[in-house]
Amino acid sequence: MMIWNQIKTILLLGALSGLLLFLGSLIGGAAGLQIAFILALVMNGITYFYSDKIVLKMYGAKPLDRERYSTIYRDVEALTQSMQLPMPKLWLVDSPMANAFATGRDPQHASVAVTTGILQLLDERELRGVLAHELGHVKNRDTLITTIAATMATAIGYLAHMLQYAAFWGSMQQDDRRKGNPIFMLLVAMLMPIAATLVQLAISRSREYLADETGARCCKDPLSLARALEKLDGQARYARRQDDPRYAATESLFIVHPIHQDGLMNLFSTHPPVYRRVAKLRTLADELF
């Protein structure tokens, strides 16, 4: 299962690359492709290097008190030794929302944050499973992978806008080839960003599955993580009444989506459905034990 998630990520990144090259070939100019890609690199490079500071400040995170939360420090130290990772910085977010997230551009600059809500909701074993999941993200370098995906998706968005203007003003070459058809150009320009977003979200979901498995194997307790996910998802069902713009900007970071989603909304979610994650963890528990 772990190998399949890695392969799926590679295939999805390849799909994003294919969409990017396809749009570039339609525009026909290497200069436009280069400009769009450079802009995307700059934007996402800033996000990659400074997103941890931005997010922690956004939520008013404070360093987790070592004396008061010695059990958490002990668990994280044991997990990092098992995963052969450096000790991350631990943070506390004062929020009733039960959740946790990891951030930082690489294992050497990693931070793991928990909310006061999750400390009240979960027992010690369940919280340990959540911490193992977040360290799984750190070990798998998911910040780097999601930044690469975001870079390509952003570049595709820029190229799509360029293609719209080119089709509208008729600046493209007009010949009998399909690529010169302005209607086709407009259709491609509208559909490509949607396709890129769906692929980007699929990458995010595949990394959640992988972090689940990495963390569960490390803590050797898949069922505790499964119970934690069920509790967190149950709490998130009441988050519909919360109107916090921070959630929309940072939803991909959390272990579960801050607001519960059902039906077709799962297609546009950064997280796979919790019931599927729980089912995979229970299957893993049967394999391990």
55-64 tens-digit pLDDT:
899 899 999 9
Say if strands 62-63 and 111-115 run parallel, antiparallel, or are unpaired.
unpaired
Distance between alpha carbon 169 and the CA centroid of its chain, in Å? 37
More confidently predicted of 25 and 88: 88
Q: What percent of the chain has pLDDT over 90?
A: 41
* Catalytic sites, residue numbers: 134
* Contact (Cβ atoms closer than 8 angstroms) between residue 93 and residue 59: yes
Q: What percent of the chain has pLDDT over 70?
A: 66
Task: Using the predicted structure, report yes or no on whether residue 90 has a pLDDT greater than 90.
Answer: yes
More confidently predicted of 124 and 289: 124
Task: Using the predicted structure, report yes or no on whether residue 114 has a pLDDT greater than 80.
Answer: yes
Task: Using the predicted structure, report yes or no on whether residue 237 has a pLDDT greater than 90.
Answer: no
Task: Using the predicted structure, report yes or no on whether residue 12 has a pLDDT greater than 50.
Answer: yes
Q: What pLDDT score does 176 carry? A: 46
Distance between alpha carbon 261 and the CA centroid of its chain, in Å? 16
Task: Using the predicted structure, report yes or no on whether residue 260 has a pLDDT greater than 60.
Answer: no
Average pLDDT for the chain:
80
Tokens representing 224 are: 């505790």
Tell me if residue 79 falls in helix, strand or coil: helix
